[in-house]
Structure 1
Protein backbone atom coordinates (compact mmCIF):
# COMPACT_ATOMS: atom_id res chain seq x y z
CA UNK A 1 0.00 0.00 0.00
CA UNK A 2 1.38 3.40 -0.98
CA UNK A 3 1.48 6.18 1.54
CA UNK A 4 -0.17 9.48 0.62
CA UNK A 5 3.19 11.27 0.73
CA UNK A 6 4.78 8.94 -1.83
CA UNK A 7 1.74 9.34 -4.09
CA UNK A 8 2.07 13.14 -3.80
CA UNK A 9 5.79 12.98 -4.60
CA UNK A 10 5.15 10.79 -7.64
CA UNK A 11 2.38 13.14 -8.78
CA UNK A 12 4.80 16.10 -8.45
CA UNK A 13 7.27 14.28 -10.73
CA UNK A 14 4.46 13.69 -13.22
CA UNK A 15 3.40 17.35 -13.11
CA UNK A 16 7.01 18.45 -13.73
CA UNK A 17 7.24 16.11 -16.71
CA UNK A 18 3.86 17.27 -18.05
CA UNK A 19 5.01 20.89 -17.89
CA UNK A 20 7.92 19.95 -20.18
CA UNK A 21 5.53 18.22 -22.60
CA UNK A 22 5.30 20.21 -25.85
CA UNK A 23 2.32 22.39 -26.61
CA UNK A 24 -0.24 21.04 -29.09
CA UNK A 25 0.47 22.12 -32.65
CA UNK A 26 -3.22 22.46 -33.39
CA UNK A 27 -5.16 24.50 -30.82
CA UNK A 28 -8.07 22.55 -29.36
CA UNK A 29 -10.83 23.50 -26.97
CA UNK A 30 -9.24 21.25 -24.36
CA UNK A 31 -5.57 20.36 -24.27
CA UNK A 32 -4.28 17.00 -23.03
CA UNK A 33 -1.43 18.75 -21.29
CA UNK A 34 -3.62 21.26 -19.45
CA UNK A 35 -6.18 18.69 -18.34
CA UNK A 36 -3.56 16.29 -17.02
CA UNK A 37 -1.62 19.04 -15.25
CA UNK A 38 -4.72 20.28 -13.42
CA UNK A 39 -5.72 16.69 -12.59
CA UNK A 40 -2.37 15.73 -11.09
CA UNK A 41 -1.79 19.09 -9.39
CA UNK A 42 -4.77 18.19 -7.21
CA UNK A 43 -3.25 14.80 -6.43
CA UNK A 44 0.14 16.38 -5.67
CA UNK A 45 -1.45 19.00 -3.42
CA UNK A 46 -0.25 21.85 -5.64
CA UNK A 47 -2.42 24.86 -6.49
CA UNK A 48 -3.72 25.23 -10.05
CA UNK A 49 -2.10 28.02 -12.04
CA UNK A 50 -3.45 30.22 -14.82
CA UNK A 51 -1.50 31.24 -17.94
CA UNK A 52 0.26 34.05 -16.06
CA UNK A 53 1.40 31.68 -13.30
CA UNK A 54 -1.02 32.95 -10.65
CA UNK A 55 -2.82 30.56 -8.35
CA UNK A 56 -6.42 29.88 -9.39
CA UNK A 57 -9.19 28.51 -7.23
CA UNK A 58 -11.20 25.80 -8.96
CA UNK A 59 -14.78 26.66 -9.78
CA UNK A 60 -15.81 23.17 -10.83
CA UNK A 61 -17.52 20.91 -8.30
CA UNK A 62 -15.52 18.00 -7.00
CA UNK A 63 -16.49 14.39 -7.52
CA UNK A 64 -17.69 14.16 -3.91
CA UNK A 65 -19.92 17.22 -4.37
CA UNK A 66 -21.47 15.69 -7.48
CA UNK A 67 -22.13 12.43 -5.64
CA UNK A 68 -23.63 14.40 -2.76
CA UNK A 69 -25.99 16.25 -5.12
CA UNK A 70 -27.07 12.97 -6.72
CA UNK A 71 -27.68 11.38 -3.31
CA UNK A 72 -29.64 14.35 -1.89
CA UNK A 73 -32.03 14.83 -4.78
CA UNK A 74 -34.71 12.48 -5.92
CA UNK A 75 -34.67 13.44 -9.60
CA UNK A 76 -32.52 16.34 -10.79
CA UNK A 77 -32.92 17.39 -14.38
CA UNK A 78 -35.87 15.06 -14.82
CA UNK A 79 -33.90 11.86 -14.21
CA UNK A 80 -35.66 8.96 -12.55
CA UNK A 81 -34.24 6.96 -9.65
CA UNK A 82 -33.05 4.06 -11.81
CA UNK A 83 -31.06 6.39 -14.04
CA UNK A 84 -29.57 8.14 -10.99
CA UNK A 85 -28.50 4.76 -9.58
CA UNK A 86 -26.81 3.91 -12.89
CA UNK A 87 -24.98 7.25 -12.94
CA UNK A 88 -23.87 6.86 -9.34
CA UNK A 89 -22.50 3.38 -10.04
CA UNK A 90 -20.62 4.60 -13.12
CA UNK A 91 -18.97 7.61 -11.44
CA UNK A 92 -15.38 6.63 -10.80
CA UNK A 93 -13.50 7.45 -7.66
CA UNK A 94 -9.89 7.98 -8.66
CA UNK A 95 -7.51 6.26 -6.30
CA UNK A 96 -3.90 6.62 -7.35
CA UNK A 97 -1.07 4.51 -6.12
CA UNK A 98 2.62 5.23 -6.41
CA UNK A 99 2.96 2.41 -8.95
CA UNK A 100 0.15 3.70 -11.19
CA UNK A 101 1.57 7.21 -11.25
CA UNK A 102 5.10 5.91 -11.89
CA UNK A 103 3.74 3.92 -14.85
CA UNK A 104 2.33 7.16 -16.24
CA UNK A 105 5.66 8.92 -15.63
CA UNK A 106 7.50 6.20 -17.57
CA UNK A 107 4.98 6.29 -20.43
CA UNK A 108 5.10 10.08 -20.71
CA UNK A 109 8.90 10.13 -20.61
CA UNK A 110 9.10 7.60 -23.46
CA UNK A 111 6.71 9.75 -25.48
CA UNK A 112 8.62 12.97 -24.85
CA UNK A 113 11.99 11.41 -25.68
CA UNK A 114 10.63 9.83 -28.90
CA UNK A 115 12.00 6.46 -27.79
CA UNK A 116 9.89 4.34 -30.12
CA UNK A 117 10.09 6.81 -33.00
CA UNK A 118 13.87 6.48 -32.85
CA UNK A 119 13.79 2.73 -32.20
CA UNK A 120 11.45 1.96 -35.12
CA UNK A 121 12.97 4.49 -37.49
CA UNK A 122 11.45 4.27 -40.95
CA UNK A 123 13.45 5.35 -43.95
CA UNK A 124 12.69 7.65 -46.82
CA UNK A 125 11.04 4.78 -48.66
CA UNK A 126 7.98 5.16 -46.40
CA UNK A 127 8.19 8.92 -45.82
CA UNK A 128 8.57 9.69 -49.53
CA UNK A 129 6.84 6.96 -51.54
CA UNK A 130 7.81 6.75 -55.21
CA UNK A 131 4.25 7.33 -56.42
CA UNK A 132 3.77 10.60 -54.54
CA UNK A 133 6.95 11.74 -52.78
CA UNK A 134 5.51 15.02 -51.45
CA UNK A 135 2.34 13.50 -49.95
CA UNK A 136 3.32 13.52 -46.26
CA UNK A 137 5.08 16.86 -46.45
CA UNK A 138 1.96 18.36 -48.04
CA UNK A 139 -0.16 16.97 -45.17
CA UNK A 140 2.18 18.41 -42.53
CA UNK A 141 2.27 21.78 -44.29
CA UNK A 142 -1.54 21.85 -44.38
CA UNK A 143 -1.79 20.98 -40.67
CA UNK A 144 0.75 23.64 -39.71
CA UNK A 145 -0.94 26.19 -41.98
CA UNK A 146 2.13 26.82 -44.13
CA UNK A 147 0.49 26.03 -47.46
CA UNK A 148 -3.12 25.75 -48.39
CA UNK A 149 -4.34 24.06 -51.51
CA UNK A 150 -6.65 25.85 -53.87
CA UNK A 151 -9.57 24.09 -55.49
CA UNK A 152 -7.54 23.67 -58.69
CA UNK A 153 -4.51 22.11 -56.97
CA UNK A 154 -6.76 19.82 -54.91
CA UNK A 155 -8.54 18.60 -58.05
CA UNK A 156 -5.19 18.12 -59.78
CA UNK A 157 -3.98 16.05 -56.83
CA UNK A 158 -7.12 13.89 -56.88
CA UNK A 159 -7.05 13.35 -60.66
CA UNK A 160 -3.33 12.92 -61.25
CA UNK A 161 -2.06 11.93 -57.80
CA UNK A 162 0.65 14.61 -57.62
Structure 2
Protein backbone atom coordinates (compact mmCIF):
# COMPACT_ATOMS: atom_id res chain seq x y z
CA UNK A 1 0.00 0.00 0.00
CA UNK A 2 1.44 3.38 -0.95
CA UNK A 3 1.98 6.13 1.59
CA UNK A 4 -0.74 8.27 0.03
CA UNK A 5 -3.23 5.40 0.17
CA UNK A 6 -2.38 4.64 3.81
CA UNK A 7 -2.93 8.32 4.71
CA UNK A 8 -6.33 8.21 2.99
CA UNK A 9 -7.27 5.07 4.91
CA UNK A 10 -6.08 6.68 8.15
CA UNK A 11 -8.16 9.77 7.40
CA UNK A 12 -11.21 7.54 6.89
CA UNK A 13 -10.57 5.90 10.27
CA UNK A 14 -10.23 9.34 11.84
CA UNK A 15 -13.55 10.37 10.31
CA UNK A 16 -15.23 7.35 11.93
CA UNK A 17 -13.84 8.39 15.32
CA UNK A 18 -14.88 12.00 14.77
CA UNK A 19 -18.46 10.92 14.00
CA UNK A 20 -18.66 9.45 17.52
CA UNK A 21 -17.22 12.65 19.03
CA UNK A 22 -19.92 14.47 21.04
CA UNK A 23 -21.29 17.80 19.85
CA UNK A 24 -20.21 20.89 21.72
CA UNK A 25 -22.51 22.02 24.51
CA UNK A 26 -21.95 25.69 23.79
CA UNK A 27 -22.49 26.65 20.18
CA UNK A 28 -19.70 28.72 18.64
CA UNK A 29 -19.20 30.19 15.20
CA UNK A 30 -17.05 27.20 14.26
CA UNK A 31 -17.50 23.69 15.58
CA UNK A 32 -14.31 21.73 16.29
CA UNK A 33 -15.95 18.48 15.25
CA UNK A 34 -17.32 19.84 11.97
CA UNK A 35 -14.10 21.65 11.08
CA UNK A 36 -12.01 18.52 11.61
CA UNK A 37 -14.50 16.38 9.70
CA UNK A 38 -14.35 18.76 6.73
CA UNK A 39 -10.57 18.78 6.86
CA UNK A 40 -10.15 15.01 6.94
CA UNK A 41 -13.04 14.36 4.54
CA UNK A 42 -11.06 16.35 1.97
CA UNK A 43 -7.90 14.40 2.84
CA UNK A 44 -9.65 11.03 2.55
CA UNK A 45 -11.09 11.94 -0.84
CA UNK A 46 -14.71 11.64 0.27
CA UNK A 47 -17.32 14.13 -0.83
CA UNK A 48 -18.67 16.42 1.86
CA UNK A 49 -22.19 15.76 3.03
CA UNK A 50 -24.60 18.36 1.68
CA UNK A 51 -25.06 21.27 4.04
CA UNK A 52 -22.45 20.14 6.56
CA UNK A 53 -19.34 21.36 4.79
CA UNK A 54 -18.42 24.68 6.36
CA UNK A 55 -16.74 25.79 3.15
CA UNK A 56 -19.85 25.09 1.08
CA UNK A 57 -21.83 27.78 2.90
CA UNK A 58 -19.22 30.49 2.39
CA UNK A 59 -19.48 32.60 -0.72
CA UNK A 60 -15.78 33.32 -1.06
CA UNK A 61 -13.00 31.06 -2.29
CA UNK A 62 -11.84 28.22 -0.10
CA UNK A 63 -8.28 27.74 1.17
CA UNK A 64 -7.82 25.03 -1.46
CA UNK A 65 -8.86 27.47 -4.21
CA UNK A 66 -6.42 30.10 -2.96
CA UNK A 67 -3.58 27.55 -2.74
CA UNK A 68 -4.37 26.41 -6.27
CA UNK A 69 -4.22 29.96 -7.65
CA UNK A 70 -0.95 30.71 -5.88
CA UNK A 71 0.75 27.46 -6.85
CA UNK A 72 -0.22 27.25 -10.51
CA UNK A 73 0.78 30.73 -11.62
CA UNK A 74 3.98 32.67 -11.30
CA UNK A 75 2.27 35.99 -10.59
CA UNK A 76 -1.51 35.84 -10.12
CA UNK A 77 -3.50 39.03 -10.21
CA UNK A 78 -0.40 41.16 -10.78
CA UNK A 79 1.15 40.40 -7.37
CA UNK A 80 4.80 41.16 -6.83
CA UNK A 81 7.15 38.19 -6.58
CA UNK A 82 8.20 38.87 -2.98
CA UNK A 83 4.56 39.15 -1.87
CA UNK A 84 3.77 35.93 -3.73
CA UNK A 85 6.61 34.11 -1.95
CA UNK A 86 5.39 35.47 1.38
CA UNK A 87 1.88 34.19 0.68
CA UNK A 88 3.20 30.78 -0.32
CA UNK A 89 5.20 30.51 2.89
CA UNK A 90 2.23 31.29 5.16
CA UNK A 91 -0.46 29.18 3.49
CA UNK A 92 -1.06 26.09 5.60
CA UNK A 93 0.24 22.86 4.14
CA UNK A 94 -1.26 19.68 5.53
CA UNK A 95 1.41 17.05 5.23
CA UNK A 96 0.26 13.97 7.04
CA UNK A 97 1.96 10.64 7.44
CA UNK A 98 0.36 7.40 8.49
CA UNK A 99 2.02 7.78 11.89
CA UNK A 100 0.69 11.31 12.47
CA UNK A 101 -2.85 10.21 11.55
CA UNK A 102 -2.64 7.27 13.96
CA UNK A 103 -1.39 9.60 16.73
CA UNK A 104 -4.38 11.88 16.13
CA UNK A 105 -6.77 8.92 16.27
CA UNK A 106 -5.23 7.77 19.55
CA UNK A 107 -5.40 11.28 21.03
CA UNK A 108 -9.02 11.74 20.02
CA UNK A 109 -9.97 8.39 21.53
CA UNK A 110 -8.18 9.36 24.77
CA UNK A 111 -10.16 12.59 24.91
CA UNK A 112 -13.44 10.78 24.28
CA UNK A 113 -12.77 8.19 26.99
CA UNK A 114 -11.79 10.85 29.58
CA UNK A 115 -8.50 9.02 30.10
CA UNK A 116 -6.68 11.95 31.68
CA UNK A 117 -9.63 13.08 33.79
CA UNK A 118 -9.78 9.61 35.28
CA UNK A 119 -5.98 9.28 35.57
CA UNK A 120 -5.49 12.62 37.33
CA UNK A 121 -8.51 12.47 39.60
CA UNK A 122 -8.99 15.60 41.67
CA UNK A 123 -10.71 15.59 45.01
CA UNK A 124 -13.59 17.52 46.46
CA UNK A 125 -11.23 20.28 47.62
CA UNK A 126 -11.08 21.54 44.05
CA UNK A 127 -14.64 20.75 42.98
CA UNK A 128 -16.23 22.12 46.17
CA UNK A 129 -13.93 24.69 47.76
CA UNK A 130 -14.70 25.56 51.38
CA UNK A 131 -15.31 29.24 50.64
CA UNK A 132 -17.92 28.66 47.94
CA UNK A 133 -18.88 24.98 47.64
CA UNK A 134 -21.57 25.42 44.96
CA UNK A 135 -19.52 27.63 42.63
CA UNK A 136 -18.83 25.07 39.90
CA UNK A 137 -22.26 23.51 40.18
CA UNK A 138 -23.87 26.93 39.57
CA UNK A 139 -21.69 27.43 36.48
CA UNK A 140 -22.60 24.00 35.08
CA UNK A 141 -26.30 24.58 35.78
CA UNK A 142 -26.10 27.91 33.95
CA UNK A 143 -24.35 26.32 30.94
CA UNK A 144 -26.83 23.45 30.76
CA UNK A 145 -29.78 25.80 31.25
CA UNK A 146 -31.09 24.04 34.36
CA UNK A 147 -31.22 27.04 36.66
CA UNK A 148 -31.26 30.67 35.64
CA UNK A 149 -29.81 33.17 38.04
CA UNK A 150 -31.90 36.30 38.42
CA UNK A 151 -30.72 39.72 39.54
CA UNK A 152 -31.38 39.06 43.23
CA UNK A 153 -29.53 35.74 43.41
CA UNK A 154 -26.64 37.26 41.42
CA UNK A 155 -26.45 40.19 43.86
CA UNK A 156 -26.54 37.78 46.81
CA UNK A 157 -23.71 35.79 45.25
CA UNK A 158 -21.61 38.91 44.72
CA UNK A 159 -22.25 40.32 48.19
CA UNK A 160 -22.04 37.17 50.29
CA UNK A 161 -20.08 34.82 48.04
CA UNK A 162 -22.67 32.03 48.25
What's the TM-score bracket when you normalise by the shorter of the two chains? 0.7 to 0.9
Count of aligned pairs: 155
Per the alignment, residue 6 of structure 2 pairs with 6
Worse-superposed segment, 64-73 or 144-153: 64-73
Deviation per CA, 1:47-80: give whole Å up to 9, x if none. Answer: 111368xx9x9575325334247832114xxxx6
Contact 2:75 2:81 survives alignment (8 Å): no
5+ residue gaps in structure 2? none
The match for 1:65 among 50, 65, 68 is 68
> What is aligned with 1:106?
106
Q: Deviations over 1:95-132 (max 9, x none)?
A: 11101111111110100000000111112221111211
Please tell me whether the aligned partners of residues 41 and 47 of structure 2 are also in contact (alpha carbons under 8 angstroms).
yes
1:161–1:44 CA distance, 2 compared to 1 (3 A): same
How do 1:139-154 residues align onto structure 2 when only pairs under 5 Å count? 139-154=139-154
Q: Does the C-alpha gap of structure 1 residues 69 and 32 become closer, same or farther in structure 2, counting only changes over 3 Å?
A: farther
Whether the 8 Å CA contact 1:8–1:43 is kept in 2: the answer is yes
Q: Is the alpha carbon distance of 1:66 and 1:33 closer, same or farther for their aligned partners in structure 2, counting shifts above 3 Å?
A: farther
SS in structure 1 of the partner of residue 116 of structure 2:
helix
- Deviation of 1:81 after TM superposition, in Å, equals 5.8
Secondary structure at the aligned position of 1:93 is classed as coil
Per-residue deviation, residues 130-157 of structure 1 (Å, max 9, x unmatched):
2111100000111122222122211211
Distance 1:51 1:117, change over 3 A: farther
Say whether the 8 Å CA contact 2:69–2:76 is kept in structure 1.
Answer: no
Note the aligned Cα RMSD (angstroms). 2.6
Gaps of 5+ in 1: none
